[in-house]
A and B are shown apart, each in its own frame.
Chain A
């Protein structure tokens, strides 16, 4: 066998992945761009025709785009801020050296993350049922809290989504921050003790600066993840509840709405347009993440 030039050989090894990405990512995306310029839907499943930018105009004109963007921000920041705050607080608590049973508590606290998320969501969906579900029948009355109804009230839907997402995800943030805290050299704190620094000063001068990079990294990567997090919304509210005067239901995000337009309402062309917009936004976010974190610097 003749020896290939190293450059060609390297490319041959990388080729299968490139082909996969071209065939399973770029090609479908371009095909979706094409479909988004047509009127393909249940009425025009095979005899669809070219309608130009109609689907995109619809998206702008009827206020879908603004509603979806607002929902995305509520969902993403509404989930992310409590999750990071709770994860950080628990990491700080677990990081106290004079606390007994730290590893036991840690082992229990990561269970929600370990249990498969989709199955947890199915369980939570039953628990949130109003009025028979466990939350509305027992836990919330026991805590003297009002009912949370995910089907009829917008407030209830967001509350249910964010509380459930908090349950699903806080262990991840706790784990990342906990290992970040453990990697801070204890000498720093000992020196601060010698200088007579108080707990707050140590937190502000040592803990926070040491974790700055971790916090920024976690925030920015989780932002993209939560933005595109499909299952909590799809399983718990299905994008609902619907509001008659608004074109879009109240907890819908791009990814959930595109899926439903395609597979619940068979509006394939509109779903394709939504997917394109959603993918474009994710690409922009991804480039920001790559620039900001420099993930790829060490990789290529």
Chain B
């Protein structure tokens, strides 16, 4: 029956055509804000008003905004170029958070996987519930307590960031340690290594992917935080982090005193693209980790 075959081919063409239209529209929409900010960062547009459609056409590419971003002293009371200083602060905070998260998560993951302890299940459930609260949910209580304990500083920030990653990562570590045969540690312990020695030398090495993932999550969690940093150190621009700096550059702190808009765009691109690359590289690993936690494959 040729007519039926023709109908099937027509339906298939229609299905594919609709699919491509949807995909192209969605792809354009996905890329648009990113393209827009990248093009703005290469332009000399100073305000949103002067940002027109011609900004988006790469005609006069200039690196002026990047130069100003990296050398500019927008806040006169800070004696060094502002943005690099803020980025440095973010890196310090994020690195410390990553370190603490790895240590805590691996220790707890090891306990959950290998060792017996009293009330294991209730303790684990109690701890797991915390993963449902984002750090922004505990910012107000932490602020009130830390104001009293004189911890409204970088130490306090690292303390505030750590549980968010560490608790979640402890369960990831548990799963990944489950998959390591205990024979290696037992053999090492017979050879005279203590359990802690075996944990540090053998389990850490064999669970390297989850160590890396935990470090990455801890780093990103701290690096990308705005709310807690603003609450703790927002009033001191000398101590700001990169995200507080971007907030200021975007004109959301005080629109009138903000530097040119293309400088914000340069900051957004310079911060956003490396983190995006990191995400894309680790995305497969992360998706696998999340779905192994969720029990869906």
By a CB distance below 8 angstroms, the chain A residues around B129 are: 283, 286-287, 290
**Cβ-defined contact, B144 with A28, below 8 A:** yes
**Cβ-defined contact, A17 with B115, below 8 A:** no
In this complex, what residue of A is CB-closest to B50? A132
Contact with B along A124-135 (1 / 0, CB 8 A): 111101001110
**Cβ-defined contact, A278 with B137, below 8 A:** yes
What is the CB-to-nearest-CB distance from A94 to chain B, in angstroms, rounded to a whole number?
Answer: 8
By a CB distance below 8 angstroms, the chain A residues around B167 are: 17, 21
- Residue of A18, A139, A217 near B296 (CB, 8 A) is A217
Contact with A along B231-268 (1 / 0, CB 8 A): 10010000000010011001110000000010010001
- Residue of A138, A229, A299 near B171 (CB, 8 A) is A299
User: Which range holds the interface residue count of chain A?
Assistant: 35 or more
- Residue of A10, A114, A127, A259 near B139 (CB, 8 A) is A259
Q: A11-B117, A124-B33, A287-B129 are in contact. Are A17 and B271 (CB under 8 A)?
A: no
By a CB distance below 8 angstroms, the chain A residues around B108 are: 13-14, 16-17
A123 within 8 A of partner (CB): yes
User: Which range holds the interface residue count of chain B?
Assistant: 35 or more
In this complex, what residue of B is CB-closest to A134? B36
**Cβ-defined contact, A286 with B272, below 8 A:** no
- Residue of B22, B141, B279, B294 near A217 (CB, 8 A) is B294
B1-55 residues at the A interface, CB under 8 angstroms: 12, 15-16, 19-20, 22-23, 26-27, 29-34, 36-37, 47-49, 51, 53
By a CB distance below 8 angstroms, the chain A residues around B126 are: 21
Instruction: For the complex, give the distance between the alpha carbons of A279 and B12 in Å.
Output: 51
B61 within 8 A of partner (CB): no
**Cβ-defined contact, A25 with B163, below 8 A:** yes
In this complex, what residue of B is CB-closest to A126? B48
B128-186 residues at the A interface, CB under 8 angstroms: 128-130, 132-134, 136-146, 148, 159-160, 162-163, 166-167, 170-171, 174-175
Q: A28-B145, A125-B252, A179-B291 are in contact. Are A17 and B166 (CB under 8 A)?
A: yes
Instruction: For the complex, give the distance between the alpha carbons of A124 and B136 in Å.
Output: 21
Instruction: For the complex, give the distance between the alpha carbons of A29 and B137 in Å.
Output: 11
By a CB distance below 8 angstroms, the chain B residues around A298 are: 295
Contact with B along A81-122 (1 / 0, CB 8 A): 000000001100110101100000100111111111111101
Mostly, the B contact residues are helix
Instruction: For the complex, give the distance between the alpha carbons of A105 and B25 in Å.
Output: 11
In this complex, what residue of A is CB-closest to B293? A295
Instruction: For the complex, give the distance between the alpha carbons of A21 and B117 in Å.
Output: 18
**Cβ-defined contact, B29 with A167, below 8 A:** yes
Q: A126-B48, A179-B287 are in contact. Are A7 and B118 (CB under 8 A)?
A: yes
B266-297 residues at the A interface, CB under 8 angstroms: 268, 271-272, 275-276, 279-280, 283, 287, 291, 293-297
In this complex, what residue of A is CB-closest to B100? A20
What is the CB-to-nearest-CB distance from B235 to chain A, in angstroms, rounded to a whole number?
Answer: 10
Instruction: For the complex, give the distance between the alpha carbons of A297 and B294 in Å.
Output: 10
By a CB distance below 8 angstroms, the chain A residues around B159 are: 24
By a CB distance below 8 angstroms, the chain B residues around A123 are: 33, 36-37, 268
By a CB distance below 8 angstroms, the chain B residues around A255 are: 134, 136-137
A282 within 8 A of partner (CB): yes
Contact with B along A208-219 (1 / 0, CB 8 A): 000001100100
A146-200 residues at the B interface, CB under 8 angstroms: 167, 171, 175-176, 179-180, 183
By a CB distance below 8 angstroms, the chain A residues around B162 are: 20, 24
**Cβ-defined contact, A111 with B276, below 8 A:** yes
- Residue of B15, B175, B296 near A213 (CB, 8 A) is B296
**Cβ-defined contact, B264 with A122, below 8 A:** yes
B201 within 8 A of partner (CB): no
Instruction: For the complex, give the distance between the alpha carbons of A105 and B272 in Å.
Output: 21
Question: B72-80, B81-89, B222-230: which lies at the A interface?
Answer: B222-230
**Cβ-defined contact, A16 with B33, below 8 A:** no
Instruction: For the complex, give the distance between the alpha carbons of A176 and B34 in Å.
Output: 23
- Residue of A6, A12, A228, A299 near B133 (CB, 8 A) is A228
Question: A50-58, A65-73, A242-250, A268-276: which lies at the B interface?
Answer: A268-276
Provide 6 A-B residue pairs closer than 8 Å at the C-beta atoms, listed in order of the A residue: A28-B144, A40-B144, A132-B51, A171-B30, A230-B227, A293-B294
- List of 10 A-B pairs having minimum Cβ-Cβ separation, nearest first: A10-B115, A13-B111, A10-B117, A32-B141, A28-B141, A17-B108, A14-B111, A230-B136, A286-B132, A11-B117
Other A-B pairs, 16, CB within 8 Å; known A17-B105, A99-B16, A299-B124: A6-B116, A9-B195, A11-B118, A14-B111, A17-B170, A90-B23, A105-B27, A116-B276, A118-B224, A119-B268, A175-B287, A180-B296, A259-B231, A295-B128, A297-B295, A300-B120
Q: A residues bordering B, Cβ < 8 Å? A: 1, 6-7, 9-14, 16-18, 20-21, 24-25, 27-29, 31-32, 35, 40, 89-90, 93-94, 96, 98-99, 105, 108-120, 122-127, 129, 132-134, 138-139, 167, 171, 175-176, 179-180, 183, 213-214, 217, 221, 224, 228-231, 234-235, 255, 258-259, 262-263, 268, 271-272, 274-275, 278-279, 282-283, 285-287, 289-290, 293-300
